[in-house]
Amino acid sequence: MRFRRRPRAREPEEAADPHVPPGPVGPNALRAPSPLHAFNRYEIKYLVGEAQVPQIREELRRRMDPDAHARHGGYDVISLYYDSAGLRFYWEKIEGLRFRRKLRLRNYGDRAAITDDSPVFVEIKQRVNRVTQKRRVRLPYHLARRLCDGREMVPHEPAQRAFLEEVLALIVENDLRPVATTGYQREPFVGRGVDLGLRVTLDHRIRGRDRDFHLGAEAENRFIVPPHLAIMEVKANERVPYWVTDMAAALNLSVVRVSKYCQSVEAFGKAPRSVFHIPDDHLEDASRPVRSHG
């Protein structure tokens, strides 16, 4: 599928959450990250009908490479978000503050395989003006819980200390506690040639819960985005290539400012539904419970 070039690329709407996910520990383990990973990038998010995904996938495969870290086409992402009793981080996002932060634990892979020793990321994702900065360290799950739930410093590498102290201070000063989880199946693509640094992901079956916060819990999730919809995230170091915005325009894709965390908070009635909430009243099974698969 080919699209006519437009005169100029659309300006990125907001900033990104790129990553190169680690694989499971064991014979299929992937490249281990450094003690502290940090990312600065821009992003546009589009709402995509699942019926449009094959056409989008064909175009992405023509111009990009499948992420080598995604075996069998993708992987599951599970995130646990922390917030204050007054949902400070949620409201900072809704109000569009130029500087805002949020704290989460993130695991890549099968929920059923999560143990105390499974590697997870402790992440601070913050936005400064139009750029999102994501900083994180990798810890065994039991140490991540000691840090975030037990509120105590844990064994660490020297390069991790300043970041872990920042996490601990953020938790204590704001009395953070687990608020919501999100989970979805991510299908990632990476740029090549002149598009090196470009990353596009398709997130499917986006779900969440507001209790049973152990990442490996055998718990019911709910769709927080109607399951006939996916979210395409386009992430770039500087600007989004013309061909991406041309493709989006040709398919009449909608730019959205959706936050999966905010979507989960609102889906479970912890806050009123904002103007950014993706509605589900037009799809009967959007609120139907679904067994957790990550």
Domains of the chain by residue range: 14-291
Region 14-291: CATH code: 3.20.100.30
Specify whether the CB–CB gap between 124 and 105 falls below 8 A: no
pLDDT at site 131 = 79
Mean pLDDT of the chain: 84
pLDDT at site 71 = 80
Distance of CA 56 to the CA centre of its chain: 20
**Count of beta carbons in the 10 Å neighbourhood of residue 195:** 18
Against a cut of 0.85, is the pTM above it? no
Specify whether the CB–CB gap between 289 and 222 falls below 8 A: yes
- Choice among 222-226, 234-238, 268-272, 273-277 with the minimum mean pLDDT: 234-238
Tokens in use for 291? 């067994």
Give the pLDDT confidence of 189-202 residue by residue, as tens digits.
Answer: 999 999 998 999 99
Tokens in use for 41? 């990038």
Q: Residues 19, 210, 83, 262: what is their CA dihedral angle, to the nearest 10 degrees?
A: 60
Give the pLDDT confidence of 31-55 residue by residue, as tens digits.
Answer: 333 466 766 778 889 999 999 999 9
Give the pLDDT confidence of 69-128 residue by residue, as tens digits.
Answer: 888 889 999 999 999 999 999 999 999 998 999 999 999 988 889 999 999 999 999 888
Distance of CA 62 to the CA centre of its chain: 25
Tokens in use for 4? 């006519």
Q: Name the band, by pLDDT with cuts 50, 70 and 90, for residue 4.
A: very low
Residue 61 has φ and ψ, to the nearest 5°, of -65, -30
d(CA 248, CA 220): 34
pLDDT at site 130 = 75
Q: State the amino acid at position 230 in one-letter form.
A: A
d(CA 62, CA 59): 5
Look at residue 88 and give its three-state secondary structure: helix
